[in-house]
Structure 1
């Protein structure tokens, strides 16, 4: 599933050229194609009619949404600080997920709260770093590097 998620990187690169006016550089596209071939190797079995195939298609269909999220974030970095963007992302995601969480909610015991806090801090720091990278560099330059996450 994670490997299928990397298909969004190609969508980000193609749309960054179109919507953000980023230059098309051969080296970036070569790196992206090599990374995409790695994704193809990891996702060796084709999509089938099994339950795994269905969820693979769901993950694949989410790629354009991730691409849109990255493009919107990049556009916002032109006028807003990364702290503001990350805060609004957290508020938006929490708001949209709240209705789904309410139905099955049970209060966790005290022990995991430290892990929750640490996860929230590290996740927010990661989003801040990603947003800062979007501010500093072109999206098409950053995306091929993300294929290293596969390793």
Structure 2
């Protein structure tokens, strides 16, 4: 990869984090008025059409996109991601964007902790120390026993655990299936799952909110397309640390638009967790280079 490609990939990934943070804000707005399952269902319908269009335009066509050696695991991935999205949006409504993102960013540490027993990857003592430090940061955010702990704070933590398991499952199927196949199965099985959960909660939307719903779907497509392009032209190790910017953008949207409050323990805990996460990414890159 050339330096120019890396810079372009990083710029694309910055745009991705901004778009995803905006998407989270729109999801919070809509879920504050309409049922979460309805919002996710409509979003997944458009996502499914997007991946279907990509599959039809690919060299292998629809048959190639369906060809997987792990149909059960691919299906479970799609279902798990939908459940994680439900949980994440519920967290946005109940806790706000700032606190939800601050806890959710622990998922790379959970991936690192589980990569050994699940994928058989070697995790050295330095990374284990960073993982432990990161979870200290999450504990600071949760503030148990301080008198301000809210059980709702466990919702984004559950979402982080589910997304980490989804990421590990994605890496596991990637040993035999291409990224295009996994992406297709994520969209189609996700749409079926979201429809099964959301069709019972249909309710009319105002014209203005249909506009927000359309923008939500467009941001989802734009974000995923940019992310795919970024990973095509730049190395993952250069792009992964950029994902933490979503916390920054999410905090900006939460504070300026929704009136979220950045509590001191949340700021401190998020800083500790991000630092630990960046260290684990750096150690993983060093290990890959060796």
**What TM-score do the two structures reach when normalised by structure 2?**
0.39
Q: Mapping of 1:70-81 within 5 angstroms?
A: 70-81=167-178
Kept after mapping to 2: 8 A contact 1:12/1:71: yes
The answer as to 2:204 corresponding to 1:106 is yes
State the SS of the aligned residue for 1:124.
Answer: helix
Kept after mapping to 1: 8 A contact 2:113/2:131: no
Q: Mapping of 1:43-82 within 5 angstroms?
A: 43=141, 45-46=143-144, 53-82=150-179
1:38 Cα deviation (Å)? 4.8
1:85 counterpart residue number? 182
The answer as to 2:108 corresponding to 1:15 is no
- CA distance in structure 1 between the partners assigned to 2:154 and 2:246 by the alignment: 21
- CA distance in structure 1 between the partners assigned to 2:114 and 2:134 by the alignment: 18
Q: Structure 2: state its 5+ residue gaps.
A: 1-99, 249-290
1:71 Cα deviation (Å)? 0.6
Task: Choose which of 123, 132, 136 in structure 2 pairs with 1:24.
Answer: 123
- CA distance in structure 1 between the partners assigned to 2:162 and 2:211 by the alignment: 35
The answer as to 2:225 corresponding to 1:118 is no
**Structure of larger gyration radius:** 2
Q: Any idea what the Cα deviations from partners look like across 1:16-50, whole Å, max 9, x if unmatched?
A: 11221222245544555555555455x26437898
Greater shift in the superposed pair: 101-110 or 9-18 = 101-110
RMSD of aligned alpha carbons = 3.9
Kept after mapping to 2: 8 A contact 1:86/1:127: no
Number of positions where the alignment pairs a residue of Structure 1 with one of Structure 2: 144
